[in-house]
Amino acid sequence: MRWPALIPQLLLLKFARDVRRLNRGDYSSLLAAYSDNFVLHFNEGEHRWSGDWEGRAGMERFLQNFTAARIQGEIRMIAISGPPWALTLWVRFDDRADAPDGTRIYENRTVLVLRTWWGKIVEQDDFYADTQRISALEHKLTELNIHPVA
């Protein structure tokens, strides 16, 4: 197998490990993959994740809200294009959340488009199969008294 063919598999192993940690509430290894001048473009709406999240500090706050909401995720696949120093990644990411009593309150499918520069993620766009589910989750979280991280 040629070296370029290994890159998607290595990235899948790395990010799958990072997401397992994220699911346990530890986002540190995932956060380390983002550059200081990073920007996440998230769909607009009436929810705590709406809009652009800038810089590593912005991404940390986004991930704090993600873990506080008890969202669990799983990477289904990764595809890449571009040279190693400026990769574009397409990541199929499925996520879900359960209430403290175990009731499923959220489930969605996502494609994340990430742009990298010399090994760090500099831009990310998230595309959800159903954006209304995110607003519905926000209402459930409010009912459960789970407030956004300031």
What is the predicted pLDDT for the residue at 4? Answer: 67
95 bridge partner residues: 73, 108
CA distances from 81 to 3, 6, 109, 120 (A): 14, 13, 22, 15
What is the predicted pLDDT for the residue at 5? Answer: 76
- State pTM to two decimals: 0.93
CA distances from 60 to 78, 91, 97, 100, 114 (A): 23, 20, 19, 24, 17
CB atoms within 10 A of CB 23: 17
Work out the average pLDDT over 29-46. 96
What is the predicted pLDDT for the residue at 7? Answer: 87
Task: Tell me if 37 sits within 8 A of 125, measured CB to CB.
Answer: no
pLDDT digit string, tens, across residues 46-68: 999 999 999 999 999 999 999 99
pLDDT digit string, tens, across residues 79-102: 999 998 999 999 999 999 999 999
**Residue 2: pLDDT band with limits 50, 70, 90:** low
